[in-house]
Amino acid sequence: MADHTGIQWTDATWNPVTGCTKVSSGCKNCYAKHQTWPRLSAMPNTIYTGRDFEQVQCHRERLDQPYHWKKPRRIFVNSMSDLFHDDVPESFVQAVFTTMATARQHQFQVLTKRPQRMLALLQRWKRNGATLRSGHGVTLPNVWLGVSIEDQETADERIPLLLKTPAFMPWVSAEPLLGPVDITPYLSPLDESALKWVVVGGESGPNARPMHPDWVKGLRDQCAKERIPFFFKQWGSWSPRSACYHTLTCGQAAADIDPDATRWPCIRLTFAGNDGQQLGNADDGDDVYMQKVGRNLSGRALQGVTYDQYPTWSTSK
């Protein structure tokens, strides 16, 4: 829970729930579990001390946190968990929605890898005519419901469920992007139930898997064609290294860019990706060299452009 964050597409994080479990390949190198949680659980005398990340915990004392932030913010809900995890009671999910409904000055960004439960809960609430404590229905203009995807399989599994959910601003976060994805069936500026925003990012951390530039460009171009806002968050740990000379030795590539660059691992990656594993030396025509330079050096530019597009929204809605 923080009134500032390094996540580029939001202003603050709010964690009324902490802890989660893995559901797909995108969770393999979970940043919250493998990088943030070890530090938190090692702190003495806190709610995290000695807890395993897989132990999902609800924090009622945090439900009123957004009320203390008077300046309007974009708030990412549960960067350390999944609001729709099976271990989060329905009553607590509804309490979180009540806070979001009454803190209308803020824009809340919710991501889940469990859209089946999100759909079931919101459909039932809507069907039963449920209103939140503020008197609002379950489709809230300041609550953006989205799904995380990493490849075509998760896109085709999760996006249709999202688009069936009562959501004012359905969106998708393709991070970590692990393969090419076609989302054109889910994009239409004239369709109220279509996606309204697309965020893309590469994986970071010591075991990060590289992201082919054409995967990113493909999603950017799909969004541009349908005039859907596109946000490129980061390359992650791996950066494309084109227009450079490379020396391949023993299946490991080293970039001959400058004396310091040789310490950074470099691999050849095809469009198919092979889950980010190092590939052979055969030129398949669509392969690129990806160099592990770290998130700070890899940056956010795609073909020299920074994409920071958002859907139109205001607190007056």
Q: Which of 210, 253, 207 is nearest to 234 (CA)?
A: 210
pLDDT digits (tens, 9 = 90+) for 111-136: 999 999 999 999 999 988 877 777 77
pLDDT digits (tens, 9 = 90+) for 71-100: 999 999 999 999 999 999 999 999 999 999
Q: Is the pLDDT of residue 281 over 50?
A: no
Cis peptide before 176 (omega within 30 of 0): yes
Q: Is the pLDDT of residue 254 over 90?
A: no
pTM beyond 0.75: the answer is yes
Where does the pLDDT of residue 2 fall: very low under 50, low under 70, confident under 90, or very high at 90 and above? low
